[in-house]
Amino acid sequence: MRSYAVVVVVEEPIIDDGPVLTENVLSVEEYLARGDVNYAIGDTYKEAVWNMNDNINEEYIDTKLLSLANNLELIGAPVAWSRGYTGQGSVIAILDSGIDIDHPEFANSILDTKCFVNSCIENGGSETIDDKNRYSHGTHVAGIAAANLDGVGTTGVAPDAKLLIGKVAYDGGYFAFNRAGEAIEWAVNNGADVINISANTNVDRTYKDSLVEFAPGQFYSTDTRAQYATAGYNNILIDGQYHWPTVNAMQNNEAVLVVSAGNQRIATSTYPGYLALNEEIGDRVLVVGAWDQRGNGKIISNKAGTVCFDFNDETQTCNNTRLISDQFIMAPGRYVASTSDGGEYRTLTGSSMAAPAVSGAVAIVHQMWPHMKGENLAKLLLNTANKEVYAYDVNVHGQGLLDLAEATSPQGVLGIPITGRVEGATSSVNALSTMSISGANISSLSSLMVIDDYDRDFYVDGNNLNVGTDTRTTQTTVAAANGIQSDDYQGFARGTQLGLQNTMLNINTDNNSFGISQKFNMWTLGLVTEDDTFLGNYANNALINVGGSTTAYIGLNKEYVVDNTTFFGGLNIGATKLNVQDAMMTSTDTVLSNSANIGIKHSTNNSQFGIVAGLPVAITSGNANFNVASNVSVDGNIETMTMTSSLASRSRELDLGLFYNLQLSDSATMNTFVERRFNHSGINNATSTEVGIGFTLIF
């Protein structure tokens, strides 16, 4: 994952050519040490409670209410911020009772405002966009979604998102659902990525009692009154002045609509939650229930049940198979602290407070993946919601509690994009285990783009996918103990060696690998072709695909004897041409490599003791060219750039060994050795020790 180190609120234009990452973010721990994130620190939460009800004593707040002050932590918002996800470049439309437009928490955040209710001044009334609701409802909702992270007061879930404020509720609190479609159209035309409606229609006790559960979580009403009967609801909500203007406004765009579930504590949500049942836009509707942050937690709003408006009496089933529970998610809703009129703060309770937390979450995931369709943004939050809540029931809790830590983590099977589109074909990251290049740390792969199941781009260090393998062909100490001069390249053919005087053939009958070498006194000239490897390394995946190689090499082995002591050493130098196939690595230079050993051995009448040091074959130079995916544009195109990186080993293996040979008799010999391998197989700081003892009898 991308990781960053501190948040400065940076003013950026609304992006239209790709995601803009928030810079200078903090760690999770640093965020939670701030009083404007963890409201239990300082007096913000207490003052917010007292602005709601000044009769609550401080002891009660300290013992009972401060446990409700960590709503941002509960939904994983600081984790998302620490990853660079703060809503920057996203636009949230709040359709509510207006806003305290001068509140410092919204400085430089409000893009535009518009008043839609009949009592607005522009309609001949007296109300303005300024929020004069006695609870500061619209201001409070906007603050939960996107209050600035400015070191004071409270912070929104998406503190760097921009706001569109539509006044669709009168100051008295009545929400004009008949104007919602018009307001949504305005918001979409002004770039809204998510639209928040924290308002619901009410139902009376008679209607509540009329709900009949015909299947788990599914209900129909037996109320025959015109305003509550199925026909009445079909006319007003499903077919009439509320429904179709809203559905039509949500067409031909990718905005997500977030609505509150309602606060009557019944088994089903109320309108506008019914919009989730619509086949055309329902996948972009999120219905939000209020979750109590205390103790085990419970839902304190309407639940995730579904009212059927097309019930089949004969089959006792609903002709509409969509369920509210499929689009239902929860967020903290008990005594949530947020912005209030006059630059103040207050606490409020209800699903109205839960919905804007989810709207902020949509803005966060949209920031990093603006190419994602609205239904996938909604699906992502639903599928990553936390179901580990007390007595979880899908018909009560829907898909669970909002979890931004999980939503901003890769989901499903990760793949390397192999086409120019994020929704195109990918090569599974699991297949990258077919890569082992000894000691390599390739800079072009250090920020490797991978795509998850939601077509989101994440960035990992591709070098971590390079698995270690032992490419050494000569056991340095054993070879020295037996007086074998090193030829570390012939072993790469992995065949049967046939000696013909000073010529050595290496034939592999399983593939096309082949080797030949010729000795000239202390010099050796050789050639090795490898069928599917290069110097014993292999790579056959979307990153690097090498179909074989050819290596020409020269070797020098020399001994110098002084009395009973022999000094010896060898050096091999190779040049390799790689057979590069289609992959992210497009071509390479000729790769240079070498190996070396040096040692000393002392002989007595019946024994020999020696010490040796060796460097197995390793790539020393040679650049490779890569066509690397760099980012994803807002329309889902993968943009690439050309990079050049060295294939040279960064962690070269060094072998140190001791050996002792003892002639026990004319026909019996004992051979012992101990060898220590440093940076074993080119893995930095990996070590191993090998010890051996053997007896040879000649009959």
Which pLDDT value is given to residue 17?
A: 40
What three-state secondary structure class fits 615? strand
CA nearest to 195, candidates 383, 396, 377, 323:
377
pLDDT reading at 446 higher than 80: yes
Query: Which residue reads 């390397």 in tokens?
Result: 416
Q: Output the pLDDT for position 276.
A: 95
What is the overall mean pLDDT for the chain? Answer: 90
Name the residue with tokens 């009329």: 210
Q: Which residues sit opposite 657 in a β-bridge? A: 612, 675
- Highest mean pLDDT, choosing among 21-25, 519-523, 638-642: 519-523
Q: For residue 516, what are its two tokens?
A: 């030949």
Q: For residues 638 and 180, what is the distance between their CA atoms, to the nearest angstrom? A: 37
pLDDT digits (tens, 9 = 90+) for 184-235: 999 999 999 999 999 998 888 888 999 999 999 999 988 877 666 554 454 4
Quickly state the pLDDT bin for 539 (edges 50, 70, 90).
very high
The tens digit of pLDDT for each residue in 586-604 reads 999 999 999 999 999 999 9
Exposed e or buried b for every residue in 490-523, given b needs 16+ CB within 10 A?
bbbbbbeeeeeeeebbbebeeeebbbbbebeeee
C-beta separation of 168 from 195 below 8 A = no
Tell me how far CA of residue 692 lies from CA of 360, 613, 616, 668, in angstroms: 65, 17, 20, 17
In this structure, what are the phi and psi dihedrals at residue 42, rounded to the nearest 5 degrees?
A: 80, -160
Contact 354, 331 (CB under 8 A): yes
pLDDT digits (tens, 9 = 90+) for 566-576: 999 999 999 99
pLDDT single digits (tens) 366-386: 998 888 899 999 999 999 999
Which one-letter DSSP state was computed for residue 28?
H
pLDDT per position as a tens digit, 543-561: 999 999 999 999 999 999 9
Which percentage of the chain shows pLDDT scores above 70?
Answer: 93
The residue-averaged pLDDT of 128-157 equals 97
The full DSSP string for 617-684 is EEEEE-EEEEEEEEEE-TTSBEEEEEEEEE---SS--EEEEEEEEEE-SSSEEEEEEEEEEESGGG-T
Tokens of 149: 């992270």
Q: State how far the Cα of 311 lies from the Cα of 369, in Å rounded to an integer.
A: 40
**Higher local confidence (pLDDT), 484 or 79:** 79
pLDDT in tens, 339-355: 999 999 999 999 999 99
Neighbouring residues of 171: CB distance < 8 A, sequence distance ≥ 6: 97, 98, 119, 127, 131, 132, 133
Kind and range of the H or E run holding 362:
helix 351-368
| CA–CA gap between residue 465 and residue 470 (Å, rounded) | 16
Per-residue pLDDT at 459: 84
Question: Measured between alpha carbons, how far is 605 from 607 in angstroms, rounded to an integer?
Answer: 6
φ, ψ for residue 181, nearest 5 deg: -60, -45
Cβ-contact 412, 393 below 8 angstroms: no
In the predicted structure, residue 365 carries a pLDDT above the cut 90: yes
C-alpha dist (Å) from residue 601 to 484, 560, 568, 626, 664: 13, 11, 8, 47, 19
Instruction: Give the end-to-end CA distance of the chain in Å, rounded to a whole number.
Output: 65
* Residue 238, pLDDT score: 53
Task: Please choose, from the candidates 144, 31, 651, 74, the residue with its C-alpha nearest in 3D space to the C-alpha of residue 406.
Answer: 74
Of residues 381, 445, 438, 446, the one with CA closest to residue 407: 381
C-alpha torsion sign, points 326, 332, 335, 338: negative
What's the token pair of residue 284? 């972009």
Residue 696, token pair as written in the block: 């040879």
**Which amino acid would we find at residue 412?**
G
Q: Residue 49: in which H helix or E strand, if any? A: helix 44-52
Q: What is the pLDDT of residues 452-470, one digit of tens each?
A: 888 788 888 888 888 888 9
Q: What is d(CA 46, CA 345) in angstroms, rounded to the nearest whole number?
A: 10
Q: How far apart are CA 335 and CA 338, in angstroms?
A: 9
The span from the CA of 463 to the CA of 691, in Å, is 32
Among candidates 278, 277, 301, which has minimal Cα distance to 288? 301
The answer to whether 573 and 551 have CB atoms below 8 angstroms apart is no
Q: Taking a C-beta distance cutoff of 8 angstroms, is the pair 657, 688 a contact? A: no
- The mean pLDDT value for 306-332 works out to 93
Beta bridge partners of 60: none
How far is it, in rounded angstroms, from Cα 674 to Cα 484?
A: 17
